[in-house]
Amino acid sequence: MAFLIGDNGQLFGWSEQWWLFLDQIGIFLGDVLMFASLAAAIFGFFKREELRRWLRRNTFPEVGGEDIPKDRDSLIFTFSREELPRWVVDQLRPKWVGLVPSQGTRESAERLAKNLEANGIRTRLHTVDDPDDPGLTQIAVRELIHKARTDGFEHPAVDVTGGKVPMSLGAFMAAEEAGVPTFYVTSEYDRKNQRIQPGSQRIINISTPV
């Protein structure tokens, strides 16, 4: 290393004044970095909610397709009619079902719940008073997801086919927050006989959070 020392005794032979200048520059940059870090910490404290939302923003890595996992042990439905969730249950064979009806469809949901219970499927209902308020359905689905997990079912999925559009939106938001897959059922409708055409149903993936 001796060859790096100049005749003046300084590294690379640079003058002592030059090294003093570089030292002062280093101190200045260190102070700038310290004040910038302090300013960022203060900004982060007062804007912590905005930063949290940005960090947790949805990216929807897997959207669409017909690759619904068959290992879903619990399903949650926005509810309007019995036929659709009954068909999905027959296809995916869950052990636990949550239903989110409105006041107008609660009686029908209760009939389905009794039928599912009779077949050994645990069932929970969470009725929403206003089907046009997505926030109420969001809360209902969030609580049902939590209930499924506390009951020991770790792989729920949410069907957003039934109910009104605001209910589907609320259910989707709750599922995304919880990292739960969502899907809907598409089918052809027989207008003449006023019923779904048998055999036309398909389960379509909406989102599978990662």
Q: DSSP per residue over 115-170, as a string? A: HHHHTT-EEEE--BS-TT-HHHHHHHHHHHHHHHHHTT---EEEE--SS-HHHHHH
**Overall average pLDDT of the 157-176 stretch:** 94
Contact 65, 120 (CB under 8 A): no
Place of tokens 């086919």: 161
Residue 11 has pLDDT above 70, yes or no: no
Q: State the pTM of this model.
A: 0.68
pLDDT of residue 25: 79
Q: Which of 10-14, 101-105, 188-192, 195-199 is predicted least confidently?
A: 10-14
Confidence of residue 88 (pLDDT cuts 50, 70, 90): very high
- For 52, residues 6+ apart whose C-beta sits below 8 A from its C-beta are none
Residue 196 has pLDDT above 90, yes or no: no
pLDDT of residue 39: 76
